Amino acid sequence: MAVASQVLTSEWTKIRSVRSTVWTLGIAVVVTVVMGAAICLLVKNDFESMPVRERLTFDATSTAFAGMGLGQLAMIVFGVLVVGGEYSTGMIRTSLAAVPQRGTFLFSKIAVATLLAFVVSLVTSFVAFSVGQSLLGPDLRVGLGDPGVLRAVFGGALYMTLITLFSMGVAAVLRSPMLSLGILMPFFFLISNILGAVSATRKLGRYLPDQAGQKVMKVVTTGDDVPYGPWGGLGIMALWVIAALIAGYLFLKKRDA
């Protein structure tokens, strides 16, 4: 049996020795922070002219995370490339010859990528929050000590980590990075939003992984009628992630490499 610590070290070497890691994670940080900052700036300038209803339900925390919708796409690319890159390059055969215990191989890879994604997400989340709050100005800003805020900021990091994990599971099933991205990107960028916006599918849409998971980043929930709380939403997302990872593992175990 391969020793897990050896495989973890090996996977760490793999992940740090390709440029796509730095690029995708770097873009995730920059896009999330910059987009969030820009939205905060816009909101601060237009706040007085916004409708009363919007002013009353204004959520300073989730406004700072406005860039996450786009930033998460870079995390998806990261997750897909970590797993799918093995297949598209043919490296998978070399990797599995070195570590024939496929469960050890897959979960070591996922563990290393997840830890890295979590650290990057945590930094992103806290930076996006503090930059956003400082731009919102003294009238609108909230602090980490306010009720629910620390949970939302920490939850933001967990959300981005889970979305990365989900894409790794999907990539393990589909094997092709192009196919995985072709499905995941439009899904999270468009389809999920459309399903959530159309009244007929809204009840269904809020059980999708991203919509359920994003609940954890909201502090002000007035007028929100979703049947789960912040952690409940993250739990629903976690169930999706677990399902994707189990499917990925089963496919890797059964199929020819």
Partner 1 sequence: MIGCVQGAEARRRAYRGRMIEIEGLTKRYGEKLAVDGLTFAVRPGIITGFLGPNGAGKSTTMRMMLDLDNPTAGTVRIDGRHYRQLRDPLKYIGALLDAKAMHGGRSAYHHLLCLAQSNGIPRARVHQALDTVGLTAVAKKRAKGFSMGMGQRLGIAAALLGDPRILMFDEPVNGLDPEGIHWIRNLMKSLAAQGRTVFVSSHLMSEMALTADHLVVIGQGRLLADTSMAEFIRRNSRSYVRMRSPEHERLRDVLAAAGHTAVPAADGALEIDGVSAGDLGELAAGHGLVLHELSPQQASLEEAFMQLTAESVEYHAHSDTAGPAVPAGPAPGPDAAPPPPPQPAEAWGADWQRKKGR
Is 93 a binder of partner 1 (CB under 8 A)?
Answer: yes
**Stretch of residues binding partner 1 (CB under 8 A), selected from 1-9, 119-127, 135-143, 198-206:** 1-9
Q: Which of 191, 187, 128, 197 is nearest to 157 (CA)?
A: 128
Between CA 28 and CA 32 the distance in angstroms is 6
Please say which residue, 111 or 226, places its beta carbon nearer to partner 1: 111
**Stretch of residues binding partner 1 (CB under 8 A), selected from 7-15, 67-75, 136-144, 218-226:** 7-15
Is 59 a binder of partner 1 (CB under 8 A)?
Answer: no
Answer positive or negative: Cα dihedral of 7, 11, 13, 14: positive
**Stretch of residues binding partner 1 (CB under 8 A), selected from 24-32, 84-92, 159-167, 172-180:** 84-92
Number of residues that bind partner 1 (CB under 8 A): 32
**Stretch of residues binding partner 1 (CB under 8 A), selected from 6-14, 131-139, 195-203, 215-223:** 6-14
Is 150 a binder of partner 1 (CB under 8 A)?
Answer: no
Q: Which of 111, 44, 42, 38 is nearest to 69 (CA)?
A: 38
The token duo for 199 is 């009244």
Between CA 73 and CA 79 the distance in angstroms is 10
Produce one character per residue of 106-120: b if its CB has 16 or more CB atoms within 10 Å, e if not: bbbbbebbbebbbeb
Minimum gap (Å) between residue 173 Cβ and partner 1:
18
Please say which residue, 67 or 84, places its beta carbon nearer to partner 1: 84
Please say which residue, 74 or 162, places its beta carbon nearer to partner 1: 74
Backbone φ and ψ of 15, nearest 5°: -70, -35
Which residues inside 95-114 make contact with partner 1, applying CB under 8 A? 95-101
